[in-house]
Amino acid sequence: MLKLGLVQQKNTKNTEDNIKRLEQSIRELAKQGAELIVLQELHNTLYFCQTEDTKNFDLAESIPGPSTNRFGKLAAELKVVLVTSLFEKRAPGLYHNTAVVLERDGSIAGKYRKMHIPDDPAYYEKFYFTPGDLDFKPISTSVGRLGILVCWDQWFPEAARLMALRGADLLIFPTAIGWESTDSQEEKTRQKDAWMLAQRGHAVTNGLPVIAVNRVGHEPDPSEMTQGIQFWGNSFAAGPQGEILTEAPTDREINLLVDIDLGRSETVRRIWPFFRDRRIDAYNGISKRFID
């Protein structure tokens, strides 16, 4: 049984305070026995992608760099595995949205660069992030093989499937998603339900636990073109049949601790043998943009 911690946090423009509160949450979860702790997408700062501003590139850092050093020392002190999410400066003019996994000895176990990059109102990520080039490969750690995907990746079943086919023990989604204030309550409900349903579907079709950690709270639009984003929280963990193991509220910060039975995937895949029945001889078209 794996004890897993989720940190759902509301961020402000004070980056140092954001990081200190993350560290406090990590300590609290480790004290409760967490072996693996997952943080939300771009957890050090506000979600800066609401606008296109070249000054925001100053928020990026190298990997290894200040954040991996700082969180790595904490991981080593507490003997936990951490899933972090950073704005990576790879080279001049080349930046990524990168998840970094830190081992319990503080070393970098591996990283994943976000593959699917959105470009929607208030989510102008294509301005900042180059699509990932590390493929969909699980990261091996002392607590298992982690299939790390990031936010927009969660809508693409191909990404989850490839992680599963390569031996992931669980799927993990650091996330930053929320509501546009002018949407109706009905539309907001549909969006959040679809977000959760899509990821629970990945759990079912791949027979794997799924972990989604979202930020929470309102973050204003610096350009004042919109009323900002109300991040809906609702971080959760689901088992390999899509069953909800724990779920956070939509309106406040919280740390969650949950037991994940990694061995149960084998049982589920025996009774629901989707991998056995896949028609790999008939899927050639999946690599095409569209089939006329």
Which pLDDT score, from 0 to 100, does residue 224 have? 85
What are the tokens at 222? 């610096």
Q: From CA 279, how far away is CA 219, in angstroms rounded? A: 45
Q: At 17, is the pLDDT very low, low, confident or very high (cuts 50, 70, 90)?
A: very high
Average per-residue pLDDT in the chain?
97
Residue 291 domain flag: no
CATH number at residue 187: 3.60.110.10
Mean pLDDT value across residues 181-187: 90
Give the pLDDT confidence of 39-73 residue by residue, as tens digits. 999 999 999 999 999 999 999 999 999 999 999 99
Q: Which strand (E) or helix (H) includes residue 156?
A: none
Its sign, for the CA torsion 75, 76, 80, 82, is positive
Q: At 165, is the pLDDT very low, low, confident or very high (cuts 50, 70, 90)?
A: very high
Catalytic sites, residue numbers: 41, 114, 151
Residue type, 133: D
Residue 25 domain flag: yes
Tell me how many domains the chain contains. Answer: 1
Residue 109 domain flag: yes
Mean pLDDT value across residues 287-292: 90
Give the pLDDT confidence of 138-158 residue by residue, as tens digits. 999 999 999 999 999 999 999
Beta sheet of 178-180, edge-to-edge order: 178-180, 229-232, 216-219
Give the pLDDT confidence of 91-131 residue by residue, as tens digits. 999 999 999 999 999 999 999 999 999 999 899 999 999 99
| Unique residue bearing structure tokens 């093989």 | 145
Q: From CA 270, how far away is CA 33, in angstroms rounded? A: 31
Residue 79 domain flag: yes
Residue 290 domain flag: no
Residue 180 has pLDDT above 90, yes or no: no
Give the pLDDT confidence of 2-12 residue by residue, as tens digits. 999 999 999 99
Residue 284 domain flag: no
Residue 187 domain flag: yes
Domain that holds residue 35: 2-278
Q: Which strand (E) or helix (H) includes residue 216?
A: strand 216-219
